Chains A and B, each alone.
Chain A
Amino acid sequence: MEKLYKFLKYTFIILWTVFIVAPFLWAISTSFKDFQSVNSKVTYIPWLDFEPTLEGWRVLVKSPARGGVDIVEPYFNSLFVTCTASLISIVLGTLAAYALSRFTFKAGFVRNNDITFFFISQRIMPPIVLSIPFFIFLSTIGLLDSLIGLVVVYIVLLMPIAVWIMVDFFNRVPKELDETALIDGCNPYQAFYKVVLPNSVPGLIVAGMFCIIFGWIDFFFAFILTFTEVQLLPVKVVALNSSITPWWSLSASALISVAPLIIVAFVVERYLSKGNLSGALK
């Protein structure tokens, strides 16, 4: 019985691992193929099934004028929008979360929980609902197809995440911490800045990682609110998909686009194993 359970357990996680890794392996293999090895029959293993070439990867460094795919500029655009929006969301979200965790608010029937819910519930908002008014709004003020316009929209996407994680986190930071600081003569701002914030680094990192993930992977807003001036990475890669781009350069650009955030998986795991995440995500 024990043996059988162990066997099933390992079979399950190994199968799941294969399922997770499969598309990556396929993409890596495809990125080294040429026309023949993609279109004649399905091939898998380089050297054995087909002769690998670097054509798919070379396209990424060629200038667009010579048939290359310009992925550098979308890369930096994505980086800029994600980081700026995350930073603003974290700063504003953390302040709001601290207020919601420490002070009592009352306005009519609205209490702390209702305000927290208001923040978090913005995630329910389907992107399509916002995108139509934003489309008209941004085009009226001339910010359609600009980085600033996107940052504004992404704040709506990310601040709820920051508030969600930080409220729970601050609720677990003992109140005595700020009380002691206040007794020691700090004003509330100093107590927050000098005492509470340094003790909240794990929470801030978790919130930051989540903001960066959900900013980086967004496609829809970037797709609707930008055209040619500004292109974000996901939009660029999807545009390749619908044109006549060969599979090898498609796979190479897809791989290079998802690579940076895979590092985040290692960071998240580290926090998980150290036990820092358990409270932050509850």
Chain B
Amino acid sequence: MNFKHKYVFLFPGLFVLIGILIFPIIFTIRLSLSGWNSYTPEMNFIGITNYIRLFTDDPRFWESFFRLSFLSVTTVILQYIIGFALALIVWREIKFKRFFRVIFLIPMMTTPVIMTVIWRTFFHESLGPVNDLLGNLGVKPILWLSDPVIAKFTVIIVEVWQWTPFMFLLLLAGLLSLPKEPFLAAAIDGASPFRKFVYVTFPLMAPISIGAIIIRLIEASKIMDTVFVLTSGGPGTATETSSFYIYIKGLREFQMGYAATLSFTYLVIMIISLTIIAKVLTKLMIKE
């Protein structure tokens, strides 16, 4: 089937998207070559000065980038393990199956920033329930939000709470669409549940797993909302992610030109590293 009409279907969406995006991207590149800041808010041309500054004189950006990588990879691994376990459990018949399925989905329907507002009171160091309950067990108050190391884990806890449901949903939908025959064959062979998982379920789920992990990594690489409300990047810069740092440079300090340099570099790194991760995961998981 091939018609002239096919363009009528494709073009409205394609051109609306390109139309909305083309300006910001070209503008960002141009802006990154300028010294636009609050003193000189104009599009002058300073060449690659900004890029030189970024690559030679801005450890804070690279720290925020490695922090982001650490946070997103850790949360996605945890989400994958927990989400897969939950999906496997409610995949088969189990008491209150549909109740559990609904419960496991709920967090992803809630607005991250708004839930984080609640988490903030939840982890409050003197008035929150976590430290109070732990205190009853004789544990000293934990500095959930003001200790540089623990604050990272608090962010991870909140992110895992928020987004494991998405992983769960994708994996459960995948499990439900698997063909029945391989499982019957395994049952006839008398395979143990463990062997069944290793030799049947997991290989069949590999493509779906890769898809789900990549989608989650893409979303996790944008971690910002949670950090913004929970810790504002603090204490110090302990939970500052790249997006947050760019936000500070651009929209708080109004160094628009430099922020554009950071944005563009960040975007390029994101695209390259996600492509590499996708390739590596495919190699690792589909080989057998």
Contact: B23 with A219, CB < 8 Å?
no
On whether the beta carbons of A20 and B161 are closer than 8 Å, the reply is yes
The reply on B106 being an interface residue by CB < 8 A is yes
Residues of B within 8 A of A41 (CB): 132
Interface flag for A17 (CB, 8 Å): yes
| Contact segment of A50-58, A60-68, A98-106, A197-205 | A98-106
23 contacts between A and B (CB under 8 A): A20-B104, A23-B119, A95-B13, A98-B9, A102-B6, A103-B6, A121-B271, A124-B218, A125-B267, A126-B221, A127-B224, A128-B247, A132-B250, A132-B256, A133-B28, A163-B13, A187-B5, A189-B5, A233-B111, A238-B117, A272-B101, A275-B176, A275-B177
In the complex, the answer to whether A264 meets B109 with C-beta atoms within 8 Å is yes
Using Cβ atoms and an 8 Å threshold, which residues of chain A touch B107? 20
Provide the bound-state CA to CA distance between A100 and B11, in Å: 11
Please report the total number of B residues contacting A with Cβ < 8 Å: 91
Docked complex Cα distance between A126 and B113 (Å): 17
Q: Cβ of A27: which chain B residues have Cβ within 8 Å of it?
A: 118, 121
Q: Is the CB of A250 within 8 A of B121?
A: yes
The answer to whether B259 touches A132, judged by C-beta atoms less than 8 angstroms apart, is yes
B106, A262: Cβ atoms under 8 Å?
A: yes
- Residues A224 and B251 in contact in the complex (CB < 8 Å), given A13-B100, A95-B12, A241-B229: yes
Contact of B20 with A by CB under 8 A: yes
Q: What are the residues of chain A within 8 A of B219 when measuring CB–CB?
A: 123
Given contacts A129-B263, A282-B208, contact A137 B86 (CB under 8 A): no
The answer to whether A219 touches B102 (Cβ under 8 A) is no
A103 and B113 alpha carbons, distance in the complex (Å): 41
Closest to A127 in B: B222
Cβ–Cβ contact A42 & B27, under 8 A = no
Whether a CB of chain B sits under 8 angstroms from the CB of A217 is yes
Of the listed stretches B148-156, B165-173, B181-189, chain A binds B165-173
**Distance, CA A266 to CA B250, complexed state (A):** 41
User: Cβ of B98: which chain A residues have Cβ within 8 Å of it?
Assistant: 269, 273
The answer to whether B238 has its CB under 8 Å from any CB of chain A is no
CB contact between B115 and one of A254, A266, A269 (< 8 Å): that residue: A254
- Least CB distance from A174 to B in Å reads 13
Residues on the B chain within 8 Å of A257, using CB: 111, 114
Chain A residues within 8 Å of B86, by CB: 13, 16
Stretch at the interface among B44-52, B54-62, B122-130, B279-287: B122-130
Instruction: Please indicate the chain A residues that have their CB under 8 angstroms from the CB of B8 in the complex.
Output: 189
Q: How far is the CA of A99 from the CA of B13 in the complex (A)?
A: 10
Residue of A nearest to B85 (CB): A12
- Cβ of A220 within 8 Å of any chain B Cβ, yes or no, is yes
Q: Type the 1/0 row for A237-254, where 1 means its CB is closer than 8 Å to any CB of B.
A: 110110000010011001
Query: Would you call A7 an interface residue if the criterion is a C-beta within 8 Å of the partner chain's C-beta atoms?
Result: no
Residues of B near any A CB (own CB < 8 A): 1-3, 5-10, 12-14, 16-17, 20-21, 23-25, 27-28, 31, 82, 85-86, 89-90, 94, 98, 100-115, 117-122, 127-129, 132, 161, 169-170, 172-174, 176-177, 193, 208, 211, 215, 218-219, 221-222, 224-225, 228-229, 242-243, 246-247, 250-251, 256, 259-260, 263-264, 266-267, 270-271, 274
**B-chain residues with CB within 8 Å of residue A32 when the two chains form the complex:** none
**Docked complex Cα distance between A175 and B259 (Å):** 48
Kindly list chain B residues whose C-beta atoms are within 8 Å of the C-beta of A268: 105, 169
Q: Which listed residue, B10, B127, B271, touches A105 by the CB 8 Å rule?
A: B10
B96 (CB) vs chain A CBs: closest residue: A13
Q: How far is the CA of A250 from the CA of B221 in the complex (A)?
A: 29
Q: Is the CB of B271 within 8 A of A124?
A: yes
CA distance A251 to B121 in the complex (A): 9
Interface contact A93-B6, CB-CB below 8 Å: no
Q: Tell me if A173 counts as interface (CB < 8 A to partner B).
A: no
16 further interface pairs, Cβ-Cβ under 8 Å (given A129-B267, A220-B225)? A13-B100, A21-B103, A23-B115, A38-B127, A95-B12, A103-B1, A124-B271, A129-B24, A129-B264, A188-B3, A188-B6, A189-B5, A213-B109, A264-B109, A278-B173, A282-B173
